[in-house]
Structure 1
């Protein structure tokens, strides 16, 4: 009798745990879908006014954790390391031509990209919570190279 009750309790516990894990997985999929919808549009005006540049290097994907930091605030996830001796890289921005999910697939691979540089915008510190620079101004958001194409390097 006690054995039967214990098995039922364990079974109920496993079902609840499975539902919880499934719910977390669905939430993560929704987050990933919303990341893909945040790809920036490439306007004809942007192409005409900005120089199209080509770079080669190793693409790194650094997932943004929900810990408040400068990188979290600025939204930088993708970097192109053009000089292996330097830890700094070019900031890459997904676009309608090269999506977030495509970029993730190129993590840790040698690639060749074409992109245009876009400057970030500075929100108003009175209207938005933001990371401040030394002058008390919000750090820019959205700066980096907006991708036009990406290819694996031979």
Structure 2
């Protein structure tokens, strides 16, 4: 499927780096070139025919970030840890309190505080907190 990535001869060594990143992403996550194009917001022509001089610095940054996060960031951290980072980020970035956030995500303040401090809470409340914090983060960051 991605033979072009591996077998084409490219004179620029950096092109080989991005070609390899595309290959690893496609292999690890069973992604087709069209899917990589959508995920990275890079034209399919650049995905299929990797040439370093045609990849912008912004595209290089996207490739590096998404590749690192998918290959190492997500598997390297527990789901609750990621959600707690989201919670801390919402508190810091938007200057929200635990009370504010608890009201926004429709949970008891004490439950959210226990979640933040790795305390014991019911699984259904934990799930509600996680899903609603992800959604709240998405909503609040839409206007950036």
State the TM-score, normalized to the length of structure 2: 0.26
| Higher RCO by CA contacts (8 Å cutoff, separation 6 or greater) | 1
More helix by share: 2
State the TM-score, normalized to the length of structure 1: 0.25
